[in-house]
Amino acid sequence: MDRQTICLIFKGRFGHNLVVPNSGSESIDDYLKAIFELTGPAGEAAASKAIAERLGVSAPSVTGMLRKLSAGRRPCIEYRKHHGARLTGEGRKRALRIIRRHRLVELFLCQVLGYSWDEVHQEAERLEHFISEKLEERIAQKLGNPEFDPHGDSIPRKDGSLPERKTMALAAVPPGSSVIISSVSDRDSEILRYLERIGTTPNRTLVVIDHAPFDGPTTVRLHDEADIRALSPKLAAAIFVRMT
């Protein structure tokens, strides 16, 4: 389904067209969202190289945009060359707004339009920039003001706060622990399809059996099954869990 068709569906369900942003605004949103997602829980800066890899752009392009975002009376980021970038209060507010729209669109596509969870990320990447505040709230109301998207990620509230949930990477869980899958990274559709096929999806309970050394697999067992599953480091890195 192309974007034009989805726009017509939105118009039919909510009574108006989507907005059309300018390319500069769209690019700024992408940068702020990337910096937010790359900033760790301790507030460490997002490295320029990591931003370039996340957005698929060149290092000089990243440097130019970071300088732009750190300038002016109300800068969106704090930036020092070779030290990375952190969001200011203004930048965090804008990043959370676009993340809210992205995750609401993902859930709308799954629950209302019947998309599978491995299809919605790229569609939401395109549509998130076209959502007006009015349409955003109509979608949220339609979905019952949800707290989590199809992959288990928190949907920022309208006031910019996030539902709190203590999670950790699956690879950091001590062997023998019982955990609940909180979220799965939505950036790789092949990983999502595989994890769904083997039943490792949000809200499933796992028992962590072992972490093999030297980049070996993490072995787990679903609480209601006898089969052991071996997850590669890449798969384990895509799964975030909370203790039962």
pLDDT digits (tens, 9 = 90+) for 140-186: 999 999 999 999 999 999 999 988 888 999 999 999 999 999 999 99
* pLDDT tens profile 61-118: 999 999 999 998 899 999 998 899 999 999 999 999 999 999 999 999 999 999 999 9
Confidence class for position 225, pLDDT limits 50, 70, 90 = confident
Q: Tell me the pLDDT tens digit for each residue of 36-51.
A: 999 976 678 999 999 9
Token pair, residue 158, equals: 């309208």
pLDDT bin (cut points 50, 70, 90) of residue 22 is low
The pTM for the full model equals 0.88
Separation of alpha carbons 91 and 74, rounded Å: 9
Per cent of the chain over pLDDT 70 is: 90
| CB distance 148 to 155 below 8 Å | yes
The domains spanning 1-162 and 168-243 adopt the same CATH topology: no
DSSP string, 77-109: EEEETTTEEEE-HHHHHHHHHHHHHHHHHHHHH
CATH among 3.40.140.10, 1.10.1240.10, 1.10.10.10, 2.30.30.90 for 168-243: 2.30.30.90
What is the chain's mean pLDDT, rounded?
90
Domain ranges, ordered by start, for the chain? 1-162, 168-243
Cα 194 vs. chain centroid, distance in angstroms? 18
**Angstrom distances, CA of residue 174 to CA of 96, 179, 208:** 32, 10, 7
CATH architecture assignment, domain 1-162: Orthogonal Bundle (1.10)
For 188-203, b where at least 16 C-beta lie within 10 A, e where not — what string?
A: beebbeebeeeebbbe
